[in-house]
Amino acid sequence: MDRLQNKVAIITGGIKGIGLATAQAFVAEGAQVVITDIDGTNHQTVLEALSPSAHFIEHNVADEQAWETVFTKTIELFGHVDIVVNNAGILDFNDAEHITDDIWHKVLAVDLDGVMYGVKHGIAHMKKNGGSIINLSSIAGLIGIPNLFAYNAAKGGVKMLTKSAALYCAENQYQIRINSIHPGYVHTPMVDAYPEMRADLEKLHPLGRLAEASEIAQMAVYLASDESKFVTGSELVIDGGYTAQ
């Protein structure tokens, strides 16, 4: 398989869940990947499974300076960057009446600011040769969920900054495509941490189940590949029919 042959990707939050599945899918399609994560506990195991096509960099996506370090190291390793997957994210249950400043800023720092930095620095480093930036949003970026107030705000922001940045790149003829992916509920450590919710979450999806991380990763492969060279500023929904209701 060579849909991503000779391409170099940075994938945030790549040690587990959708990020790991995306790294696995990219390597299978011929890409070299740099996996970043704030928690590197299992990175050696992940790298051994993906060797020799993957490298790991510890990375806090909410720290702008850390982004320059990631790009610098990736370019030192591979000479260029073609793909950025802004996947890192956190979840907190909160509502509009009881939200605290600390929780609000914590969620938005990772889930929105982290994506913004990835887009900003991705454009700076990719505008000469072009490429693809893929932002993981959520169905929570499309519909309201009462107990995900801050997460709704962040994921909705990801959807709209994606569109703005895509138009900016097109206007400046940078040949950088920027799109967002909006999964429904997916079997990831973040969701599976709440097994008591699983049956109720499955019922929300007309297909009657949660998505597998590998199913989201395949959409990322499409957006990273030259097959999607006329796709930019789009929101691609993978939700088992959730938002069709």
Six-digit token string for 18: 């959708």
Six-digit token string for 72: 């610098």
pLDDT of residue 40: 86
- Please say whether the beta carbons of 118 and 161 come within 8 A: no
Report the percentage of the chain scoring pLDDT > 90: 94
Answer whether CATH 3.40.50.720 is correct for domain 8-238.
Answer: yes
Residues 151, 174, 185, 242: which is the catalytic one? 151
Q: What angle do CA 215, 217, 219 make, to 5 degrees?
A: 80
Told to judge if 151 belongs to the known catalytic residues of this protein, a careful annotator would answer: yes
Alpha-carbon span 112 to 153, nearest angstrom: 9
pLDDT of residue 41: 87
Torsion 39-45-50-52 (CA) sign: positive
Average pLDDT, the chain: 96
Alpha-carbon span 119 to 122, nearest angstrom: 5
Residue 92 has pLDDT above 80, yes or no: yes
pLDDT bucket at 120, cuts 50 / 70 / 90: very high
pLDDT of residue 12: 98
User: For 163-206, how does the pLDDT look when each residue is reduced to its tens digit (9 = 90+)?
Assistant: 999 999 999 999 999 999 999 999 988 888 889 989 999 999 99
Report the percentage of the chain scoring pLDDT > 70: 100
User: For 14-51, how does the pLDDT look when each residue is reduced to its tens digit (9 = 90+)?
Assistant: 999 999 999 999 999 999 999 999 998 889 999 999 98
Domain ranges of the chain: 8-238
Give 236's strand partners: 181
**pTM (whole model) above 0.85:** yes
Residue 112 has pLDDT above 90, yes or no: yes
Buried b (16+ CB within 10 A) or exposed e, 20-33: bbbbbbbbbbebbb
Residue 224 has pLDDT above 80, yes or no: yes
